[in-house]
Amino acid sequence: MPSSFETFLTWTEAGELKGVASNASGRFSLRGSAESSQLILSAGYIGYKKREVRVDLSQSNRVNDITIRLEPETIRSSEIIVSGFAGGTLSDTLLTGMIDAAKFSPLGESNTIRALQAHPSVSKGTALNNGLHVRGSTPDGFLVLLDGMSIFNQSHLFGLLDSFNADAIQSSGYYFGVIPASIDTPTGGTLNLITRTGSLNEFSSSVGVSNTSINGTFEGPLGNRSSWLLSARTSYMDQLTWFNNPRLIQWGLDIDRPRRVASDDPDFTDLVLQPGEASSQFVDLHGKLYHETTAAGRFIISGYFGGDRTSQSAGRRTRSAGSGGQFVFEEVTTSNLWGNALLSVKYEQELFNAFYSSTTAGFSSYETEFEKDDFVYSRLSFDEGNESVTIFTFPFGNRSSMNELKLNQDVEYKNRLVTATFGGTWRLYRGEYSESSFDRPSFFSQTSAHLADLYLHTEWNPVHFIELNAGIRGYYFSPGDRLMFAPRLQARISPVTNLSFFAGYSINHQFLHRVSLENATTADVWILSTQDQPPASAEQFTAGVEFIPDPAVYLKIEAYLKTYENLRFHELNTRSLENTFSGTPWFYENSGDAEGVEVTLRNRFSRFLLTQSYSLSRMVFSNPGLLDGEDFYADWDRTHTYNAVLETAFSNRLKFYLSWVMMSGAPTSPASFGEDTEERLSAYYRLDSTIEYHHVFGDASRLEVSFSVFNLLNRDNVWYRTYAFSFDETRSIPRLRPLHVDVLDLGFQPSFSVKYSF
């Protein structure tokens, strides 16, 4: 069976079509009555050819072991399974393909992280981003797992590309809302990725190129019961400067980003910086070994390494001591470096009838380094109600490391009425963080922690129209000897076949925190909860309705209410000195309230598929040490968000996609922490398009070509508002003075990808 999420099997019993889903490892069990001495099973999974197997029941009505191997389809799927409690949906339902990673990328590569923004639970974002916000959560509330281990940096080039090669990923499961206790989840959601198992039948390979990178994937059998897979991707942006590559690096490192003055003042901001040489390199390596034992066990070893090295020089206009009071250009450099390596070993085995065991051990190691010679600091102060702004440049740098050692044991029990998963996990974390800034010239912290948990998740169908899901996860966290509990409960009632009502409640805890600088797209920096700085938590209530009046129509409406505690964000994001004398450069006593309504409507027409989503939401923070404890909006808060994706096939070989995004304006940071009269940015509108073509050469090879345009209408959408320098030469004595500017999102950006499989 494919190493992925649930595979579905069907058979005919007494003239009725019956079905059963496997577990995540492809293991299944069924009971039924056959009309003859043979039972015909049909097995299927997204991206694989359906296969029928005849089971001989003439000698015995009990068969202990049936192995069904599925062959990949000519078209390999890059879809993401959107899940609440269920691990997947039937391959012939309208929900299949709810999110296709191949459709959402500014640089021609499949981008799973960006593709999730099509879902109403995820805040829509710009081309560059600091991570995903799931129902108001901070970016660190979204966890990415690869083969059970943490991916600490989710993207290359500051959010433009995933930090993993899509050809190496078999399946992607997105969990949000009320999540099973068996799924490790922080305060937002989880993206669970599984590396693809190499072919057990024959050697195959694929090579590809996009406007930023080249990649290759190779796989094949090792004997009768084993296989291997190796996949790699590397950039060539330093060698070819086409498709706006140098400008993308400059834009990501905040070297003279496109902007416009947010007032009637004259714009002389382009006289402050002179961009210089840029360099960008990124790499992904995936490997997997798979072996089936004679006792039907599965032994899997997976490995990954990914990293970025980007830098750019520039000349910044400044008045130095040795220039006689004149303005000169001084060379400054910005650099960003990160690397993440992980290894996991898994063994899966049926213990005895209806019980299945999965054991995982692994580690993930992560390091970062960021340096900026001309980081822009802004300070707001108030004197008798008057706002005073101080803007200056000074070097900023930080380094970090985070290491995770993990052991996990799952045991699954499954019969026709009840499914239960129970187990436990032990983790050892060791992390370091150092920062050199204007306020903290030599900050350093070193932390370590043990995190152990036990969990139980159950799914129960007492009657055919009621589904109950319940579970609990209990934690022990060594700093402070904390014991914490995370209950989960969800009920679904289906009074008629096509209508379901559901409601749920959950609590989630988070022990790792990401500290990011507002609008400075650096490598992700992670810190641990400590004895004095407690873990974050989120409590959530949710309720909704799901309606499928026709096989071509799907409608879902869901409302949620979430409360957050002990979230982190860096002190520089507040533009104040409120936290300067604390022990750490981040605020940690942040609470938040999120509420919203999400609507998903999916319609299938004769040649078109239209998916629409709408969110009405609100996310506010409060901190006793900021703004006298008053609420302030999160940077990513947008009241209204609408997204529509239109898919059509001109032929079996040619497909076309259009994506339209509309969002109300985000809050302005100068208004949240200052006295800017304009509290919201202007509304955001963007149209993206992709066209895909494929051609099959016989049975052994295939060519895939795609061409995409991000921001097809080339709109000047505002990304954020900040302070910048303007060099004013209109006076007798030239001067640098600060003013508000609106930094713009990426404009018209074409991209392509070509892939050949053989």
Most confident range, picked from 51-55, 272-276, 554-558: 554-558
Kindly report the average pLDDT of the chain as a whole number.
85
In this structure, the answer to whether residues 481 and 507 fall within a common structural domain is yes
The answer to whether residues 290 and 214 belong to one domain is yes
Q: What is the largest CA-CA distance in the chain?
A: 103
Quick one: 547 and 599 in the same domain?
yes
Q: Which two tokens stand for residue 177?
A: 């809302």
Each residue's pLDDT tens digit, 129-183? 777 899 999 989 999 999 999 999 988 887 788 888 888 887 678 888 898 898 8
Q: What percent of the chain has pLDDT over 70?
A: 85
- Give tens-digit pLDDT for 234-280: 999 888 888 888 888 888 888 888 889 988 888 888 889 899 888 89
pLDDT tops 50 at residue 74? no
Does 124 share its domain with 206?
yes
**Cα(643)–Cα(431) distance, integer angstroms:** 39
Across 524-540, average pLDDT = 94
Task: Say what the pLDDT of residue 233 is.
Answer: 94
Model pLDDT, residue 93 = 40
Residue 353 and residue 264 share a domain:
yes
On whether both 139 and 4 belong to a single domain, the answer is no
CATH of the domain at 127: 2.40.170.20
Could you report the per-residue pLDDT of 630-683, keeping only the tens digit for each? 898 998 999 999 999 998 988 888 999 999 999 999 998 777 776 667 889 999
Check residues 95 and 185 and name the one with the higher pLDDT.
185
- Which residue among 44, 73, 102 closes a domain? 73
Q: Which of 73, 91, 118 is the last residue of a domain?
A: 73
Same domain (yes/no): 381, 495 = yes
- Residue 483's SS3 state is strand
Cβ(597)–Cβ(557) below 8 Å: yes
Q: What is the pLDDT of residues 429-460, one digit of tens each?
A: 999 999 999 988 999 999 999 999 999 999 88
Work out the average pLDDT over 386-398.
Answer: 84
Number of folded domains in the chain? 2
CA distance 164 to 169: 8
pLDDT for the residue 84: 47
- Using the Cα atoms of residue 341, residue 128, residue 752 and residue 101 in order, give the sign of their dihedral: positive
Amino acid at 449: A
Same domain as 28, residue 64: yes
pLDDT tens digits for range 188-242? 988 888 898 998 888 999 999 998 899 999 999 998 889 999 999 999 988 888 8
**pLDDT value of position 384:** 64
Give yes or no: residues 93 and 69 share one domain: no
Shared domain for 279 and 235, answered yes or no, is yes
Residues 580 and 486 placed together within one structural domain of the fold: yes
The domain that holds 47 is classified in CATH as: 2.60.40
Per-residue tokens: 541? 């209530």
pTM: 0.84
pLDDT at 91 over 90: no
> What's the pLDDT score for residue 59?
63
What's the mean pLDDT in 1-15? 56
Determine the structural domain holding residue 696 and report its residue range: 79-757
Q: Which pLDDT value is given to residue 70?
A: 65
Residues 158 and 9 in one domain: no
- Strands (E) across 384-498 are located at 386-414, 418-436, 443-463, 466-477, 482-496
Q: Give the domain-ending residue among 45, 73, 101.
A: 73
